[in-house]
Amino acid sequence: MVDGDPKGLVIATIVRETRLNAMQADIVYQQLENTLNLSRRLVHEVSRDPGLNPQAAANALHARFANVPTPGQSFIIVNRPTSISVCAILLFMSIALSAVFLIGNFEGVMQLKKLMGAPGIIVSLGFTLVCGWGYWNMKRWAVLLYAVEPILRLILGVPHALIALPLLIVAIGFVNFSEMTWN
């Protein structure tokens, strides 16, 4: 960021380099501009004192900057790929639809309840909730944990059409695995 650069050009560069959306890039731009202005004011303020030696000036600047919040304290930017957001939303929708299906009096619900039992259904919903939360927060362990789902479906003989979506969610997770964290 150089004095005189048009704001739009700087924001476009931030968007291109960081893959943030325009609103997030504008916030970063404002923080950079505020930090530069604060730095100029502090340097000007300290340099106005003719009797100040360089070490004293450095100490004065350090003391003034010690109480200035850093940009990281102002806001958090989550740079989540859209495909990961879609996967997390699909997992959350799966939980909601399963809950509606189980609460309602639909054909086949009683057979499912007999097959899995109430604890099994609750564990299944909890498992999907944890995996959805992990995807939403870009966690590697969520991809590995959710990979159990299509494997279990395959072992249990579930029709292949019902394995496709969980397998796609896992594949998208592995494609974005390097951008995720463990903790």
**Nearest CA-CA partner of 129 in 113, 149, 112:** 149
Separation CA 15–CA 12 (nearest Å): 5
Res 170: pLDDT: 93
Intervals of the chain under pLDDT 50: 73-77
**Nearest CA-CA partner of 90 in 154, 164, 169:** 169
Separation CA 47–CA 34 (nearest Å): 20
Q: What is the pTM of this model?
A: 0.54
Domain ranges of the chain: 7-74, 82-179
Strands (E), 38-170: none
Res 141: pLDDT: 94
Res 148: pLDDT: 93
Res 74: pLDDT: 47
Res 147: pLDDT: 93
Residues 84-105 as b/e (b if ≥16 CB within 10 A, e otherwise) read beebbebbbebbeeeeeebeee
Res 90: pLDDT: 93
Res 67: pLDDT: 60
Res 1: pLDDT: 54
Res 22: pLDDT: 81
Q: C-alpha dihedral over 41, 44, 48, 50, to 10 degrees? A: 140
107: phi > 0 → left, psi -120 to 50 → alpha, else beta; which?
A: beta
